[in-house]
A and B are shown apart, each in its own frame.
Chain A
Amino acid sequence: MAKSEMQNQVRRLRFEHGQITQQQLADKVGVTRQTIIAIESGKYAPSLPLAFRIARTFGVSIEQVFQYDEQET
């Protein structure tokens, strides 16, 4: 059975882009800070529009922010 795992680089990108805070990122992409926390910790997989907004905020492609690993178990 395939086990899927979503990984993201949001935390790293935040620090690489002028150390913007979770609140600042949340305001830019139109969500709450708790949602950014949940995304960073991998507890919440964002919708495609939100994923695009996050990627565009950092000026990178969506694949550079979110990675999808499929592992056979």
Chain B
Amino acid sequence: MNKTKEVSWFYFFLGLACFLIPGGVAVFIAYDRGISFAPVLMFTGIVIWGGLFWLFPFIEKKVRKDKKQISFDERDQLIHKKAVMAGYVVLWLYFVTACVIAWCIVGPHGSISVNVMPLTLLGGLVIFTFVQGLACLIQYGRGGKDGEK
């Protein structure tokens, strides 16, 4: 398995875990005690950190330029870019859908709690990570084992 493909699997599961575990804790805290400032800050930090996972291969490529063994080349870069684009497209569709659904449920004169906003953001980031990882794996997966025919 290509090293970058392994990294994609790693990001896929680690990214999901990073969002789901603190996300679950945040939801639990919100429902148990009401949202306080500290867990929201902590949660936001983790989400931002997790959301920047996709940058790591590009940074690694810059840092490890002198290394003889190449692990991230132009094809990997292209796959990553396409995956990030797919993630953003689905993220946008998710936000549009969330807005339309909210509008349909509460109606034009209704109101919703502001607690819904960080939860919607969390959902968006989970979807983004999931779609990005999936898109990477699909593109690497084309052609079967090790990219061979």
Contacts and interface: CB of A to CB of B under 8 A. Distances in A.
A23 to B, nearest CB: 11
A31 B73 contact: yes
A37 to B, nearest CB: 5
B74 A35 contact: yes
A31 B75 contact: yes
A40 B142 CA distance: 14
A32 B143 contact: no
B143 A38 contact: yes
Nearest to B5: A34
A31 B78 CA distance: 13
Contacts of B34: none
A34 B142 CA distance: 12
Q: Which of B71, B73, B146, B149 has the most CB of A within 10 A?
A: B73
B148 interface: yes
Size bin of chain B's contact surface = 10 to 19
B85 to A, nearest CB: 17
B72 to A, nearest CB: 8
Interface stretch (A13-21, A42-50, A61-69): A42-50
B74 A37 contact: no
A43 B73 contact: no
A26 interface: yes
Nearest to B74: A47
B147 A50 contact: no
A72 B147 CA distance: 30
Interface string B81-118: 00000000000000000000000000000000000000
Contacts of B70: 26-27, 30-32
B146 A34 contact: yes
B148 A41 contact: yes
A47 B117 CA distance: 43
Contacts of A43: 142-143, 147
A14 to B, nearest CB: 15
A41 B145 CA distance: 13
7 contacts: A32-B73, A34-B75, A34-B147, A35-B73, A35-B74, A35-B75, A37-B143
